[in-house]
A and B are shown apart, each in its own frame.
Chain A
Amino acid sequence: MMTRLIVENLTCRHGLLTAVRDVSFALRAGEVLCVIGANGAGKTTLMNAIAGTHRPVGGRIALDGVDVTAQPAFARVRSGIAMSPEGRRLFADMTVRENLLIAAENGRAGDWTLARVLQAFPQLRPLTDMPAGRLSGGQRQAAAIGRALLTNPVVLLLDEVSLGLSPAAVEGVYQSLAMIKEARTTTMVVVEQDLTRALGFADQVLCMAEGQTELQGMPGHLSREQITDAYFGIHDKELSDV
């Protein structure tokens, strides 16, 4: 299988702060990477850099062998990278339908249609004519993922999927995501705070602390202890007793 998304030595700054330092990974078509790490680890900046809303200062991003590092965000959507951003960021004054259709209009042609998104996220069906600002957290997340899917991406970026959602809403969203994963056509990069959820869903895990890769690998090959240490950026075993 060919490599779909390559991120190589990516470095991003916010002013003087280096938010992402030398992060690299490669994903094949249909593979799922979960990015985990504490607040401020640089996960969202990494996602924004891949989506094109944050310009990295070093490294490169390639989609199907084509360097997209210099492409602005809207052009990357046409190349096949779409993101459901942190905080969902729906167009609050527009209806759910308008939110979805604007993505369909500006994205690529493909299998994802409004009908199919409503099939994958049944909770959106009765809400299509409601202003997006009035939805609950779980509904918003579903709409934001649906909106990204309607651009027919080959790489889907999902930032903070379960943050602020009720357990039931998280379950609903992940059921839909599992269906997408099963088709094995869409590569996904998922930022997830819930470790158990992340380890259960991912093919690969990338753990970040203070902008750097602390741990990287397949969930089955990593121990829970390794992961928690990496999560908190603990290198020295003695410190963990403090």
Chain B
Amino acid sequence: MNRHHVIAGISAPDRRLMAAGGLIALGLFALPLFGSALVVDKLTLLMVYIILAVMWNLLAGYAGLVSVGQQAFIGLGGYFVLRLVESGMPPFLAIGLGGFLVLLAAWPLSWLVLRLKPAEFAVAMWVLAETIRSIVMFDPLVQGETGRSLVSLNAIDPDVRRTTIYLMAVVAVVVSLVLSHALLRGRLGGESQAIRDDEEAASSVGVSTLRVKRWIFLISAVGCAIAGTIWLASAITFQPRSAFGINWSIFMLFMVLVGGLGSYLGPVLGALLFFALQEVFGDFGAWYLAGIGVVAILFALFAPRGIMGLIIGKTGQEPLSMRKLLIMREG
């Protein structure tokens, strides 16, 4: 008998949402024409947050890989860009290549960490991040804690630089959203959800769990690296303590858990909320971090499935859901 799968059609409300997303993206591309320098800088940071949240959600929400060490790739991406630029490569080209180099570094690491149990994986990733940071700090170019600036970026006209970095950030967000959508609606999406639900059962129905986890791990590593390079390009100074900081993991955790773990749009909403909180309370110093903690606690108590959980509770369905992804037709 001939059988084939067809991907279930996208519902009308979801189509409208996607069209709205496309319009927002167009608006973001046009923004430098009329937005102020401050707005462009802020939005670049928001784009970095969105990429990071989407990548962490891919790992934890879809493959069950909880990592507190993604800063390894954020920092490594920044470091590679610094090195490439120092060796004479044009900065914007280096930003693109940095992500690729991280892919090459993450490949062998994936063999190591993906064989571990979930809790071991989480800790191992943190250890990995700290180890890579220590190694990078031995580089005479970085000089330990001191760090190094992307001097050649300063040579570029500030407006051109700001706009280029911003546009790269918007492109990166669009690519990561479109790519993860395609990925999660495809076969890998179903397989990774099966692994998240029960890894042993997934392997006993024939899912090569290591292959699926490696794909997700590598995509997430490259995504974090690209976010890291964009962040470095807008911050200019590379300091190992901040580039490899555990803060990144805490931010990602916050955005994804508050937005809605394992949903497609949740991390984007989480990133928006996190960004807004930072804007409103950022001037309060340490109190701002306490505020973030309080928000996280409130969500854990009253909305454990995050903003997306609240939306599902209200409307009864998840917008842009990755569920019911396959229908089999026989004939």
Binding site for B on A (CB under 8 A): 51-53, 72-75, 77-78, 82-83, 85, 89-95, 97-99, 101-107, 111, 113-115, 129, 147-148, 150-151
| CA of A131 to CA of B191, assembled, Å | 16
Judge whether B16 is part of the interface by a CB distance below 8 angstroms: no
Distance of B4 from chain A, by nearest CB (Å): 11
Which residue of chain A has its CB nearest to the CB of B197? A91
Q: Name 12 interchain pairs, CB-CB below 8 A, sorted by A.
A: A52-B204, A53-B204, A73-B200, A74-B207, A77-B204, A82-B205, A97-B326, A102-B207, A103-B205, A104-B328, A106-B207, A129-B324
| CA of A114 to CA of B198, assembled, Å | 21
Other CB < 8 Å A-B pairs besides A94-B194, A97-B324, 6 of them?
A52-B204, A91-B202, A95-B324, A98-B190, A99-B194, A102-B205
Q: Which of B295-331 contact A (CB under 8 A)?
A: 323-328, 330
| CA of A77 to CA of B193, assembled, Å | 19
| CA of A103 to CA of B190, assembled, Å | 10
> Is A107 within 8 A of B206, CB to CB?
yes
Q: Which 4 residue pairs are nearest across A and B when measured between Cβ atoms?
A: A77-B206, A106-B206, A91-B197, A89-B201
**Which of A51, A72, A78, A101 is close to B326, meaning CB atoms less than 8 Å apart?**
A101
Judge whether B203 is part of the interface by a CB distance below 8 angstroms: yes
Judge whether B110 is part of the interface by a CB distance below 8 angstroms: no
| CA of A53 to CA of B207, assembled, Å | 12
**Which of B191, B262, B324, B327 is close to A102, meaning CB atoms less than 8 Å apart?**
B191
> Is A101 within 8 A of B190, CB to CB?
yes
Residues of B within 8 A of A82 (CB): 204-206
Residues of A within 8 A of B209 (CB): 74
| CA of A81 to CA of B10, assembled, Å | 36
> Is B190 within 8 A of A92, CB to CB?
no
Distance of A230 from chain B, by nearest CB (Å): 29
Distance of A121 from chain B, by nearest CB (Å): 16
| CA of A148 to CA of B204, assembled, Å | 8
Residues of B within 8 A of A148 (CB): 204-205
> Is A78 within 8 A of B206, CB to CB?
yes
| CA of A51 to CA of B194, assembled, Å | 18
**Which of A77, A95, A111, A113 is close to B205, meaning CB atoms less than 8 Å apart?**
A77
Residues of A within 8 A of B12 (CB): none
Residues of B within 8 A of A89 (CB): 198, 200-201
Judge whether B187 is part of the interface by a CB distance below 8 angstroms: yes
One digit per residue, 1 when the CB lies within 8 angstroms of any chain A CB and 0 when it does not, for chain B 1-15 equals 101010000000000
Binding site for A on B (CB under 8 A): 1, 3, 5, 187, 190-191, 193-194, 196-198, 200-209, 262, 323-328, 330
- Knowing A98-B324, A115-B330 touch, does A91 contact B198 (C-beta < 8 A)? yes
Residues of A within 8 A of B191 (CB): 102, 106
Which residue of chain A has its CB nearest to the CB of B211? A74
Which residue of chain A has its CB nearest to the CB of B205? A103
| CA of A89 to CA of B295, assembled, Å | 35
| CA of A83 to CA of B202, assembled, Å | 11
Which residue of chain A has its CB nearest to the CB of B5? A101
| CA of A77 to CA of B204, assembled, Å | 7
> Is B200 within 8 A of A85, CB to CB?
yes
Residues of A within 8 A of B208 (CB): 72, 74-75, 106
| CA of A51 to CA of B327, assembled, Å | 28
> Is A83 within 8 A of B204, CB to CB?
yes
Residues of A within 8 A of B197 (CB): 90-94
| CA of A129 to CA of B196, assembled, Å | 19
> Is B194 within 8 A of A102, CB to CB?
yes
Distance of B261 from chain A, by nearest CB (Å): 11
- Knowing A74-B209, A89-B198 touch, does A105 contact B187 (C-beta < 8 A)? yes
| CA of A16 to CA of B267, assembled, Å | 45
> Is B325 within 8 A of A98, CB to CB?
yes
**Which of A90, A94, A114 is close to B193, meaning CB atoms less than 8 Å apart?**
A94
Residues of B within 8 A of A78 (CB): 206
> Is A114 within 8 A of B330, CB to CB?
yes
Residues of B within 8 A of A150 (CB): 205
> Is B190 within 8 A of A72, CB to CB?
no
| CA of A170 to CA of B206, assembled, Å | 27
| CA of A23 to CA of B207, assembled, Å | 28
Which residue of chain B has its CB nearest to the CB of A81? B204
| CA of A104 to CA of B190, assembled, Å | 12
> Is A73 within 8 A of B204, CB to CB?
yes
> Is B324 within 8 A of A91, CB to CB?
no
Interface centre among A77, A91, A129, A150 (most CB of B within 10 A): A91
Residues of B within 8 A of A51 (CB): 204
Distance of B207 from chain A, by nearest CB (Å): 5
Residues of A within 8 A of B207 (CB): 74, 102, 106
> Is A113 within 8 A of B324, CB to CB?
no
- Knowing A85-B200, A114-B328 touch, does A151 contact B193 (C-beta < 8 A)? no
| CA of A95 to CA of B190, assembled, Å | 11
Residues of A within 8 A of B205 (CB): 77, 82, 102-103, 106-107, 147-148, 150-151
> Is A91 within 8 A of B201, CB to CB?
yes
Distance of B27 from chain A, by nearest CB (Å): 34
> Is A91 within 8 A of B194, CB to CB?
yes
